[in-house]
C-alpha cells in the first residue's frame, strides 16, 4: 500500500494511506436522460514570457484535448464560463479565440453539445454609465459568438449589477438581448458567493424577489430560453424556481453542493411542473468519469448505482467549492493535473496560488476516496512533488 505524508487543516503533518481504487470506465453508447454540460477549465501555457497577473497565455492543444475528453464521455461543454476563469484571468479576446477553437473541435464529435458564455466583460466597468452601455456590450459579444455559429449562455453581467437601479433595468436589458438571439439561450444566474460583484442581481438582494424578476423575464421570452442555470448553492431555491419555469424551459443545476439529488429529481414532474434538473456544472470538469457513469446508470433506471457513483464525489465538490467559492477553479485545475490531463499545475492570472497546501492535500484525499485518481501512481508522484516544493518531504 502506498503511504505518503499530507498536511491537515491545522498545518500538521498527517500520514495517509492511498486507497488507489479507480472507477471502471463508463458504459459506452448509453443515451443520457438528462442534458449535462461541464463548464470546462483552460490550460495555461507556463512557458509564455508574460506577466501572469496582467496577461493570459493558453496551451491550446491541451485545452482543446480536454474538451474532446468531455465530449467522449457524453458530456456537453459550457465554454468560456467562470470555470475557464472568465473575469479572473481570461479576457474577452482570448475567450473568443477559445470559443472559436472549441466550436471547430466539436465538428469532429457528431452530436457534441457546446454553448458559450456571452457577457459584458470586455467593457471598462468604470466607463459604463447606463443600461444602454450594458446592452451594447452584450450585443457585441453575441454578434461575435453567433458569427462563429455558437449558441449562447447569457452570463450575469458585473456592469449591469453596477448600474441597474431596479428590476425594470434588468427587464429592459434581457428583453433587448433575448429578442435578438438567433437560437434559444441559457440564462446564467451566478450567486455572489461565486462573484461578489454580482450581489443584488435581478434588482434585489432578496433571493425570492430576485427570482420573481428572473422568472418573469423567462416567461416573457420562453421561446428564446432553452433553460436557466442557477448557481446559488441552495437546493430549495433551485427547486422552487424550476417549479415555476414554463414548459419546455429547462432548469440546469449549477449547485455544486447538491447536484446528485437535484439531477435525480423528486418525482414531481408533470407537463407543467418540473421535477428534475439537468446540469451545467463546474464540478463535472473535475469528476467527468464519475458524472458520465452515473448519468448512464440513471438513464438505465438504476438510481442506486447513480448515487453509489456520484455520492462519494459530493464531499470532494463541497470542499473544492468551499468559501471563498470563487477560488474553486484552483481545485478543478489541480484535479486535471493530478490525473495527467496537463503537465503542470499553473493557471492564468496566477490563480493556482488562491488555495492553501492543506486545502490541496484534502482534495487529493477526497479524490482518492471517490475513486477519482485515474492513475494513482502518477497522482501520488505529483502530490509528493508539490509537497516537496512546499518544504514537506
Distances in whole angstroms, Cα of residue 220 to Cα of each of 172, 180, 196, 223 = 12, 14, 28, 9
Q: Are strands 114-118 and 152-154 parallel, antiparallel or unpaired?
A: parallel
Q: pLDDT per position in the chain (393 positions), as tens? A: 799 999 999 999 999 999 999 999 888 889 999 999 999 999 999 999 999 999 999 999 999 999 999 999 999 999 999 999 999 999 999 999 999 999 999 999 999 999 999 999 999 999 999 999 999 999 999 999 999 999 999 999 999 999 999 999 999 999 999 999 999 999 999 999 999 999 999 999 999 999 999 999 999 999 999 999 999 999 999 999 999 999 999 999 999 999 999 999 987 655 456 899 999 999 999 999 999 999 999 999 999 999 999 999 999 999 999 999 999 999 999 999 999 999 999 999 999 999 999 999 999 999 999 999 999 999 999 999 999 999 998
CATH 3.20.20.70 fits 31-325, yes or no: yes
For the whole model, what pTM was predicted? 0.96
| Residue ranges per structural domain of the chain | 31-325
Which residues have CB under 8 Å from 113's CB, separation 6+? 35, 37, 75, 76, 77
Nearest 5°: the CA angle 245, 74, 258 is 50
How many secondary structure helices (H) and strands (E) does the chain include? 15, 10
User: For the chain, first and last CA: distance in Å?
Assistant: 18
Cell numbers for 386, please give them.
Answer: 508539490
The C-alpha atoms of residue 323 and residue 299 are separated, in whole angstroms, by 33
- What tens digit of pLDDT does each residue of 365-378 get? 999 999 999 999 99
Q: Name the burial class of residue 266, with classes exposed (0-12), middle (13-18) and buried (19+) by CB atoms within 10 angstroms of its CB.
A: middle
Q: Which residue has the cell 494513482?
A: 376
User: pLDDT value at position 151?
Assistant: 98
pLDDT value of residue 367: 98
Q: Which three cell numbers stand for residue 255?
A: 449547485
The pLDDT score that the predictor gives to residue 66 is 98
3-state helix, strand, coil in the chain (%, to 5): 50, 15, 40
pLDDT at residue number 268: 65
Taking alpha carbons only, the member of 197, 205, 118 closest to residue 163 is 197
Rounded distance between C-alpha atoms, residue 56 and residue 251, angstroms: 33
Could you give the CA distance from residue 305 to residue 135 in angstroms, rounded to a whole number?
Answer: 46
Q: Residues of the chain with pLDDT > 90: what percent?
A: 95
Amino acid at each position: 500500500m502506498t503511504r505518503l505524508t499530507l498536511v491537515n487543516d491545522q498545518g500538521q503533518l498527517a500520514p495517509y494511506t492511498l486507497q488507489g481504487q479507480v472507477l471502471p470506465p463508463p458504459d459506452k453508447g448509453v443515451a443520457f436522460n438528462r442534458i449535462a454540460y461541464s463548464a470546462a477549465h483552460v490550460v495555461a501555457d507556463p512557458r509564455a514570457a508574460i506577466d501572469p497577473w496582467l496577461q493570459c497565455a493558453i496551451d491550446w492543444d491541451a485545452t482543446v484535448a480536454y474538451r474532446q475528453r468531455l465530449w467522449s464521455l457524453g458530456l456537453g461543454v459550457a465554454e468560456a464560463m467562470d470555470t475557464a476563469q472568465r473575469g479572473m484571468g481570461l479576457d474577452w479576446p482570448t475567450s473568443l479565440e477559445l470559443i472559436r477553437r472549441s466550436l471547430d473541435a466539436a465538428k469532429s464529435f457528431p452530436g457534441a453539445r457546446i454553448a458559450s458564455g456571452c457577457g459584458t466583460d470586455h467593457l471598462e466597468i468604470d466607463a459604463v454609465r447606463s443600461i444602454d452601455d450594458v446592452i451594447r456590450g452584450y450585443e457585441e459579444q453575441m454578434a461575435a459568438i453567433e458569427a462563429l455559429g455558437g449558441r449562447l449562455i447569457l452570463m450575469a453581467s458585473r456592469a449591469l449589477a453596477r448600474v441597474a437601479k431596479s428590476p425594470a433595468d434588468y427587464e429592459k436589458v434581457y428583453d433587448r438581448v433575448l429578442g435578438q438571439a438567433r437560437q434559444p439561450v441559457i440564462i446564467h444566474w451566478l450567486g455572489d458567493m461565486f462573484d461578489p460583484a454580482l450581489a443584488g442581481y435581478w434588482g434585489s438582494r432578496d433571493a425570492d424577489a430576485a427570482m420573481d424578476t428572473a422568472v418573469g423575464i423567462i416567461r416573457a421570452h420562453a421561446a428564446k430560453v432553452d433553460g436557466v442555470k442557477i448557481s446559488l448553492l441552495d437546493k430549495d431555491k433551485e427547486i422552487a424556481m424550476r417549479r415555476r419555469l414554463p414548459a419546455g424551459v429547462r432548469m440546469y443545476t449549477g449547485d455544486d453542493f447538491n447536484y446528485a439529488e437535484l439531477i435525480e429529481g423528486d418525482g414531481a414532474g408533470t407537463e407543467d411542473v418540473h421535477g428534475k434538473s439537468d446540469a451545467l456544472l463546474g464540478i463535472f470538469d473535475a469528476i467527468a468519469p464519475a458524472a458520465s457513469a452515473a448519468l448512464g446508470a440513471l438513464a438505465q433506471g438504476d438510481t442506486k448505482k447513480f448515487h453509489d457513483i456520484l455520492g462519494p464525489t459530493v464531499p470532494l465538490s463541497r470542499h473544492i467549492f468551499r468559501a471563498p467559492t470563487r477560488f474553486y477553479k484552483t481545485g478543478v485545475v489541480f484535479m486535471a493535473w493530478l490525473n495527467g490531463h496537463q503537465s503542470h499545475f499553473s493557471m492564468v492570472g496566477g490563480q493556482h496560488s488562491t488555495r492553501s497546501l492543506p486545502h490541496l492535500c484534502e482534495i487529493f484525499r477526497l479524490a482518492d476516496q471517490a475513486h477519482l485518481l485515474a492513475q494513482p501512481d502518477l497522482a501520488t508522484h505529483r502530490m509528493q512533488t508539490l509537497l516537496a516544493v512546499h518544504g514537506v518531504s
